[in-house]
Amino acid sequence: MSENPKEQNSIPTSKVERSAKFVKTGFKIGGNYIKHYSKKLFNPEMDKSELNEDNASDIYESLSELKGSALKVAQMLSMDKNLLPQAYTDKFSQSQYNAPPLSGPLIVQTFKKYFGKTPDKIYDKFNVRSSNAASIGQVHQAELNGKKLAVKIQYPGVGDSISSDLKLVKPFAFRMLGMSEKELDIYMKEVEERLLEETDYELEVRRSIEFSNACSGLDNVVFPKYYPELSSKRIITMDWLEGKHLREFLNTNPSQQLRNKIGQALWDFYNFQQHELRAVHADPHPGNFMITGDDQLGVIDFGCIKEMPEDFYYPFFSLTSTGLMENKEETIKAFRQLEMIHPNDTPAQIEFYYKMYRQMIGLFAKPYITDHFDFGQTAFFDELYGFGEKVAKMPEFKQARGVKHFIYVNRTNFGLYNILHELKAEVKTDTFKPHVVEQFV
C-alpha cells in the first residue's frame, strides 16, 4: 500500500464553505487562462497541454478536499477516455486510489454520532490511520474476535451535499465536456440518483449481501462477508480481503494464463449480472477489485448498482448480440426506443444517425460476436477511441441523444473493457449470453 497522503483535519460541509471553495478554484482557473494566453502572445505555436495540466491540478486539489460527489464525478470522467484531455484523465484517476484521508479525531466523531461510542469500544483493535481513502469514504483496518475486518467510513457531509455539489460542479463540467445544457442535465440527474444511493451505506450492505449471494456460484470470484450489526447509514463493516489491487498485481508480471483467469472472472462477474440479474455493479474502476493470494478476483465495493429496465435491456443487447443490425427497419425501431433517433428527425438525420450508431454499436459489440476475444490487442481500442473522438467533435452529437440508462451502462462496459485491456486478457465471451428479441414494436 502506498504511503498515505497528508491527512485532512476538517472537511467543508456547509453550502457556503463548499461554494467558496469552488469560487476560489474558478479564480485559479481564470488565472491559468490569462497565463496561457499571455504566453501564447509570445509563442503562437503553443498548445493547451500546460493549461490543461494547471487546470487539472487545481480542480483535482479542490475536489480532493471537498471529497464526495464532486470528486466522484472527476473519477467517473477519468474513466471515460474520450471526454477529457489526457492531463485531466491522469490527474483525476488518482481519486480511484488515493485521496487525502481524514484525521483520527474526525473518524472517532463519526462513530460517536452513529453508534454512540468510540471505535475502540466496538472492535478489539481499530487502526485510526486509514488504509485507503477514495472519493466518498475511507477504509480502516480493525479486528474483532480474532477476525480481520475492513471498516468503511463515509466522509462527514458527503451524503447531504450531493445536490448542491453537483450544481457547483456543473460550470466546470460544462467547460471541460462541451455538452449541451440539456445533455448535461440528463447526465447530472442520473449521476445524482446513483450517488444518493451510493452514500446510503445501509442500502449498500443489503445490496452487497444480495449480490454476493447471487454471484456466489461464479468461478474464481470471491466477496467479503458483511456485518449489518456493525454497520450504519455512514459506516460499513466487512471482512478484510487480503490481496493486491490491479496495478500492484500487474507489477508482479503475472503469466498470461493468470491474467486470462482473472479476466475471465471479471467478464463472467459483469455479464452474469447484466444478463441474469438485469442489474450491475456500475463502478468498474480498478480500486474496487483485489487479486487474492490464491489468484481469485475479490470484489470489495457494491456501492453503485445500475438496474436495467426491459425497455432498455432488450433493444440495446439485441443489437449487440444478434444479426438484428442487418435488418435496417428493425434497427431503426430499436434506435427510436432507445431515443437515439428522435420523433422529429428528418429523413436525412435518420439516415445519418442510423449509420453512425450502427457503426458505434458494431464496434462496441465485437467481443460479443465471437466466442473468444483478445482484449490485449491495441487495434480494437484504437478504433473504439478513435471513433469516440471523431463523434465527440461532430456538431450532430452536441444535442442529447439516448436514454439516461446509457450513462452508467456505457461507463460499466467501457470500464470493464479497459480493465481487461490493462490485464491483456484473452476471454471466453460466450459464458453468459444476452437475452434477445428479433423484433420491436
The reply to whether 267 and 366 lie within a common domain is yes
Residue 407 lies in a domain: yes
Residue 273 lies in a domain: yes
The reply to whether 225 and 340 lie within a common domain is no
Residue 193 lies in a domain: no
The reply to whether 230 and 322 lie within a common domain is no
What is the C-alpha to C-alpha distance for residues 88 and 75, in angstroms, rounded to an integer? 10
The reply to whether 266 and 326 lie within a common domain is yes
pLDDT digits (tens, 9 = 90+) for 326-344: 889 999 999 999 999 999 9
What is the C-alpha to C-alpha distance for residues 51 and 53, in angstroms, rounded to an integer? 5
For residue 417, how many other CB atoms are within 10 A of its CB?
20
Number of domains the chain is built from = 3
The reply to whether 286 and 215 lie within a common domain is no
Q: Has residue 210 got a pLDDT over 50? A: yes
The reply to whether 88 and 117 lie within a common domain is no
pLDDT digits (tens, 9 = 90+) for 280-327: 998 887 888 999 999 999 998 888 888 999 999 999 998 887 777 888
The reply to whether 410 and 261 lie within a common domain is yes
Residue 441 lies in a domain: yes
The reply to whether 372 and 428 lie within a common domain is yes
Q: Has residue 6 got a pLDDT over 60? A: no
| Chain centroid to CA 347 | 36
The amino acid at residue 408 is Y
For the whole model, what pTM was predicted? 0.76
Per-residue confidence (pLDDT) for residue 301, from 0 to 100: 85
What is the pLDDT averaged over residues 97-101? 52
Contacts of 239 (CB under 8 A, 6+ apart): 147, 148, 149, 150, 224, 225
Question: What CATH number corresponds to the domain at position 124?
Answer: 3.30.200
Q: Has residue 59 got a pLDDT over 60? A: no
Contact 85, 275 (CB under 8 A): no
The DSSP string of 227-274 is -GGG--SSEEEEEPPP-B-HHHHHHT---HHHHHHHHHHHHHHHHHII
Contact 225, 256 (CB under 8 A): no
Share of the chain above pLDDT 90, in %: 42
The reply to whether 113 and 74 lie within a common domain is no
Of 373 and 385, more confident: 373
Nearest to 401 by CA among 348, 347, 335, 351: 335
Q: Has residue 356 got a pLDDT over 70? A: yes
The reply to whether 252 and 227 lie within a common domain is no
Q: How far apart, in Å, do the first and last CA atoms of the chain sit?
A: 53
Point out the least confidently predicted range of 88-97, 226-235, 352-361.
Answer: 88-97
Per-residue confidence (pLDDT) for residue 144, from 0 to 100: 97
Cα–Cα distances in Å, from 238 out to 1, 69, 138? 19, 23, 13
Nearest to 156 by CA among 120, 103, 117, 83: 103
Residue 188 lies in a domain: no
Of 298 and 134, more confident: 298
Q: Has residue 98 got a pLDDT over 80? A: no
Per-residue confidence (pLDDT) for residue 135, from 0 to 100: 67
Per-residue confidence (pLDDT) for residue 325, from 0 to 100: 81
Per the structure, the complete domain to which residue 364 belongs is given by: 244-441
Residue 316 lies in a domain: yes
Residue 331 lies in a domain: yes
The reply to whether 213 and 253 lie within a common domain is no
Place of cell 460476436: 369
DSSP H/E element including 191: helix 181-198
What is the pLDDT averaged over residues 243-257? 94
Per-residue burial over 29-54, b if 16 or more Cβ lie within 10 Å, else e, is beebeeebeeeeeeeeeeeeeebbbb
What is the C-alpha to C-alpha distance for residues 349 and 128, in angstroms, rounded to an integer? 59
DSSP H/E element including 202: helix 201-214
Of 41 and 141, more confident: 141
What is the C-alpha to C-alpha distance for residues 188 and 193, in angstroms, rounded to an integer? 9
What is the pLDDT averaged over residues 20-49? 51
What is the pLDDT averaged over residues 159-188? 67
Average predicted confidence (pLDDT) for the chain: 79
Residue 420 lies in a domain: yes
Number of helices (H) and strands (E), helices first, in the chain? 16, 12
Per-residue confidence (pLDDT) for residue 243, from 0 to 100: 94
The reply to whether 88 and 36 lie within a common domain is yes
